[in-house]
Chains A and B, each alone.
Chain A
Amino acid sequence: MGYKAKFRVWRGEGGEGRLEDFTVEVNEGEVVLDVIHRLQATQAPDLAVRWNCKAGKCGSCSMEINGKPRLGCMTRMSTFEETETITVTPMRTFPVIKDLVTDVSFNYQKAREIPSFTPPTDVKPGEYRMQQIDVERSQEFRKCIECFMCNNVCHVIRDHEENKPAFAGPRFLMRIAELDMHPYDTADRKESAQQDHGLGYCNITKCCTEVCPEHIKITDNALIPMKERVVDRKYDPLVWLGNKIFRRSG
């Protein structure tokens, strides 16, 4: 049942590092994170990896397995050949702290730049009435476990550090869509989605959707509809005329 697998794991800190080879026992039903844990317990006690729930619910153990962004806890060893060498590296878009642990503060910074839920002032807690069908669109996006693999895989920032200041990434563009589709949100998010958070950078290659462990249709259900809402606003002839007359925009 058990066998010895070949692993190559990225080790290093402070911008330096290399792939290190390991031979390690694998048992039936195990996932990549189990194997990393076995390496810690038996061969490399200081091997750094983030994890919490080991059930695909917290989004901590994001890593790249054979070059693909995956959750370590949800990648079963049975999906690989026993003879295959499995290469595990940290997420590429974020700076490495040590081994498989990256500095994901970019994401927390972006989260703080999105204006929060803005309910009407005259509805008291307990008075909210919403239909299931109206909450379902935003609920899909709230399934997000913040593994940040969508932001990791997005080519706008994956190898383009220079785009980071202007681009919130799929995770937080989806957060804007979530709020915009919330039945009680009163904020106007269309203009800022484009101007402040870089929605226009997204050219809908759907890489984010492909890596989402929650199978959220980020591109189809959040980003494209949000783009349409922006366009509706921008090219609506009445809005255009109104802006010309009342705002004297330059």
Chain B
Amino acid sequence: MEIERHEYDVVVIGAGGAGLRAAIEARQQGKRTAIICKSLFGKAHTVMAEGGAAAAMGNVNSDDNWMVHFRDTMRGGKFLNNWRMAELHAKEAPDRVWELEAWGALFDRTKDGKISQRNFGGHEYPRLAHVGDRTGLELIRTLQQRVVALQQEDEKLHGDPEAYIKVFAECTITRLLKDASSVHGKNGAISGAFGYWRETGKFVVFDAPAVVLATGGIGKSYVVTSNSWEYTGDGHALALLAGAQLINMEFIQFHPTGMVWPPSVRGILVTESVRGDGGVLRNSENRRFMFDYVPDVFKDKYATTEEEADRWYTDQANNRRPPELLPRDEVARAINAEVKAGRGSPQGGVFLDVSTRLPAAEIVKRLPSMHHQFKELADVDITKEPMQVGPTCHYIMGGVEVDADTGAASVPGLFAAGEVSGGMHGSNRLGGNSLSDLLVFGRRAGAGAAEYVNGLARRPAVSEAAVEDARAEALAPLERSGGENPYEVHHELQRTMNDLVGIIRKAEEISEALDAVEKLKERAQHTASPGGRIYNPGWHLALDLRNMLLVSECVARAALLREESRGGHTRDDYPKMSPEWRRKLLVCSATPDGDTVDVEERIQPSMRADLLALFDRTELSKYLTEGELTEYDAVKES
């Protein structure tokens, strides 16, 4: 059977912020670029980002600069971050935000006409460029419109708007393809990608020497999540199956404030801006409980009384921050503990109140989406009563291990950016650092891919045998009858991960989850999807299951190995943070059939001396081993 084929220089999988920014860069560098997205163009999960993009522009507080942002990011990630990524991110974020403005974005303004910046958890100064609470939408629309602008240019120049950049919407990639006559041995170079059109069910092969993964996260492996259906870990799985490694998979961010009621909307995000703009968390005893949960490493940076915390909103120079603005992992654990102790709200969350903190008109102006969301979905008027909120699976810090400067994975020709890549955020991401991450590393991955293509002596060739295998794999669920219902397998996986590898973990439960995942993998081999190939969601889900199971296994295996608690990984049986573990990354790899996942420990390279010098010794002593501190002292003296 004939399969539709396309030839490109760079294929970008995913059309959220990272994917679009990568594609724009590749096209601007003269590469013929394809953007492939599972949904319609402009619908990516990035639209869900609410709070803003963190960039140390210093528009609101001129003391802000990249070094402060870098420090905040490392602290937020509990020093496990890839420090080079954190450095590049802090340095380049302002340029990436300003560039959006030149492409038509309209951020909220300061009085002197600059881009306004808002407070957010873990950020020392007001730092998030924003548009009300719909910043992600502004970002995606601006990038989408930039792609259109480039297409209009190409139409003028070449008579074809799609000559250099084309969007393949509602198209899902199921396999990456590698060089048939590999010069690199079994680690052959990328030669393209195989997928299917959702609309017709027909297959398509992209012949391309460089692939940028920008597929986002894995939240759909959990029941309670803020993530959309697309978040099935496709890029994570594609990378593993192609021979690349994933790092930090044990670190999952549970956003502290998701909706808890009604049940059907459980998990939908309530932006951190509510707290950034003055909202407070209370338990059923009406106590602002976050004051009881400030960890030692942050003790000197957070207010100890409500009065000081409240003064901070107007006078940041002389007061410390409210503890509601601790990094997300801390707040999520605190809420979890309050509910467990029986001090939760009627629907099993805690109260998040902005109604007594700001005038109604101001709430509607600053938090329009939240006002709308609660009114329409929960019959709650947030200008009059508190919201009920609880933790929700929001973001995975782990992902494809990449070179910080180029986004290159270990497989030649494979690149990754955004949530699907790992390292930048360490063990916990700060709010606002995601949108800026997309822009900074989307651009870098696009440039990295373009440069890689420039340096190639020949185009790697697509292996026809691999295409045939991919075709058979994709057709299997349609050809079986009377097999497992993919919706049921999915639902069981979600329950398993939610209950056993959730916000608080322990060895027995993780092992139980691994057994369950093993059985589900077996069942997923026998799913049957009735119906035809045209837009068949049951079939699409059956194919997505392979990816969700594979990443869930990585999460669980890494979580079982890491015997400490840090950021988005909390072990009930190992509640302390360990400086020894800080130096170690857990690296996942898999066999090409995905049957076996392997996890190894690797030592993380030491931070460059000039970056280390940005911290004082007292702070570092909370994170580093004695040996590392001795090195630090030696550098300081020299």
Instruction: Report how far A139 CA is from B291 CA in the complex, Å.
Output: 38
Tell whether, in the assembled complex, residue A112 and residue B148 are in contact, meaning their CB atoms are under 8 Å apart: yes
User: Contact between A58 and B47 (Cβ–Cβ < 8 Å)?
Assistant: yes
- What residues of chain B lie closer than 8 Å to A131, measured between beta carbons? 109, 113
> B152 contacts A116, CB within 8 Å?
yes
Residue of B nearest to A147 (CB): B43
Q: Does B98 touch A at the CB level, under 8 Å?
A: yes
A42 to B265, CA, bound (A): 20
Q: A47-B537, A117-B104, A139-B106 are in contact. Are A31 and B264 (CB under 8 A)?
A: yes
Contact between B152 and A135, CB atoms less than 8 A apart: no
A55 adjacent to chain B (CB < 8 Å): yes
Q: Is the CB of B369 within 8 A of A182?
A: no
| Inter-chain contact B262/A28, CB cutoff 8 Å | yes
Instruction: Give the residues from 53 to 99 in chain B that come closer than 8 angstroms, CB to CB, to chain A.
Output: 94-95, 98-99
Q: Flag if A125 contacts B40 (CB, 8 Å).
A: no
**Chain A interface: which of B348-356, B456-464, B526-534, B615-623?**
B526-534
Contact of A126 among B94, B261, B376, B487 (CB under 8 A): B94
The residues of A that contact B109 with a CB separation of less than 8 Å are 130-132, 135
Q: Are A27 and B152 in contact (CB under 8 A)?
A: no
**Is the contact region of chain A dominated by helix, strand, or loop, or is it mixed?**
loop
Task: Give which listed residue, B41, B263, B377, contacts A108 with CB less than 8 A.
Answer: B41
A179–B261 alpha-carbon span in the complex (Å): 39
B104–A112 contact, CB under 8 A? no
Interface residue B450 (Cβ < 8 Å from any Cβ of A):
no
Question: What CA separation (Å) do A50 and B229 show in the bound complex?
Answer: 10
Residue B401 CB within 8 A of the other chain? no
State whether B531 touches A46 (Cβ < 8 A).
yes
- Give complex CA distance A108, B66 in Å: 39
| Least CB distance, B199 to chain A, in whole angstroms | 6
Which residues of chain A are near B107, meaning CB under 8 Å? 135
Closest-CB distance, B272 to chain A (whole angstroms): 16
- Stretch in A95-103, A156-164, A242-250 touching the partner: A95-103
Beta-carbon nearest neighbor of B138 in chain A: A142
Complex CA distance for A235 and B456, rounded to whole angstroms: 60
State whether A59 touches B43 (Cβ < 8 A).
yes
The range of chain A's interface size is 35 or more
Question: What residue in chain A is nearest B151 (Cβ atoms)?
Answer: A112
Return the contact of B113 from the options A116, A130, A139, A144 (Cβ within 8 A): A130
Q: Are A128 and B101 in contact, with the CB atoms below 8 A?
A: yes
A119 at the interface (CB under 8 A from B): yes
* Closest beta carbon of chain B to A8's beta carbon, Å: 19
Interface pair A29/B261, CB less than 8 Å apart: yes
In the assembled complex, A201 has its CB within 8 A of some CB on chain B: no
User: Quick one: which of A13, A56, A126 has the most chain B CB within 10 A?
Assistant: A126
Q: Is A51 an interface residue (CB 8 A)?
A: yes
Give the CA-CA distance A45 to B482 in the complex, in Å.
13
Whether A52 and B228, one on each chain, are in contact in the complex, defined by CB atoms closer than 8 angstroms, is yes
Partner of B43, one of A60, A138, A143: A60
Number of residue pairs A-B, CB distance < 8 angstroms: 175
Q: Are the C-beta atoms of B268 and A55 separated by less than 8 Å?
A: yes
Q: Which of B261, B376, B537 has the most C-beta atoms of chain A within 10 angstroms of its own C-beta?
A: B537
A45 and B538 contacting across the interface, CB-CB below 8 Å: yes
What 1/0 mask marks residues of chain B from 250 to 272 whose CB sits below 8 Å from any chain A CB?
00000000000111110011000
A106 to B268, CA, bound (A): 31
Which residue in B101, B372, B487, B535 is a CB contact (below 8 Å) of A98? B535
Q: Is B362 an interface residue (CB 8 A)?
A: no
Please give, as numbers and ranges, the residues of chain B lying within 8 Å of A146 by CB-CB distance: 42-43
Q: What separation, in Å, do the CA atoms of A49 and B537 have in the docked complex?
A: 8
CB under 8 Å from chain B, chain A span 16-37: 27-31, 34
B108 within 8 A of A: yes
Q: A110-138: which residues lie under 8 A (CB-CB) from chain B? A: 111-112, 115-117, 119, 123-126, 128-132, 135, 138
With A53-B228, A116-B148, A129-B114: A145-B537 Cβ-Cβ less than 8 Å: no
Q: Does B610 interact with chain A (Cβ within 8 Å)?
A: no
In angstroms, Cα B263 to Cα A177, docked, is 40
Within B357-398, the residues touching A (CB, 8 Å) are 369, 372-373, 376-378
Bound: A215/B369 CA distance, A: 11
Q: A116-B152, A182-B104 are in contact. Are A60 and B40 (CB under 8 A)?
A: yes
Task: Report the Cα distance A56→B48, complex, angstroms.
Answer: 10
A51, A57, A60 pick with most chain B CB within 10 angstroms: A57
- Mask, B479-492, CB within 8 Å of A = 1, is 00000011110010
Given A29-B264, A34-B264, A45-B485, residue A55 in contact with residue B373 (CB < 8 A): yes
Chain B residues contacting A50 (CB-CB under 8 Å) are: 39-40
Q: Residues of A contacting B2 with CB < 8 Å?
A: none
Report whether B149 and A117 are in contact in the complex, using a CB–CB cutoff of 8 Å.
yes
Kindly list chain A residues whose C-beta atoms are within 8 Å of the C-beta of B114. Answer: 129
Q: Which residue of B lies closest to A111 (CB)?
A: B148
Contact B42 A48 (CB under 8 A): no
Q: Which residue of B lies closest to A105 (CB)?
A: B169
Decide if B149 touches A116 in the complex (CB within 8 Å). yes
Is the pair A57, B264 in contact by a Cβ cutoff of 8 Å? no
For chain B, residues 188 to 211, give those with C-beta under 8 angstroms from any C-beta of chain A: 199
Interchain CB contact (< 8 A) of B534 among A31, A59, A98, A119: A98
5 A-B pairs whose Cβ atoms sit less than 8 Å apart in the complex:
A52-B230, A56-B376, A98-B534, A129-B113, A143-B134
Q: Which 8 residue pairs are nearest across A and B when measured between Cβ atoms?
A: A29-B262, A46-B531, A45-B538, A117-B104, A129-B113, A116-B149, A125-B98, A41-B487
List 13 additional contacts besides A125-B98, A129-B113; criterion CB under 8 Å. A27-B263, A40-B487, A40-B538, A52-B39, A53-B48, A54-B228, A56-B372, A57-B47, A98-B535, A130-B109, A144-B141, A179-B104, A182-B104
**Chain B residues with a Cβ under 8 A of chain A:** 39-45, 47-48, 94-95, 98-99, 101-104, 106-109, 112-114, 116, 131-132, 134, 137-138, 141, 145, 148-149, 151-152, 161, 199, 228-230, 261-265, 268-269, 369, 372-373, 376-378, 485-488, 491, 529-532, 534-539
Q: Which residues of A contact B (CB under 8 A)?
A: 13, 27-31, 34, 40-42, 45-60, 74, 76, 97-99, 101, 103-104, 108, 111-112, 115-117, 119, 123-126, 128-132, 135, 138-139, 142-146, 179, 182, 215
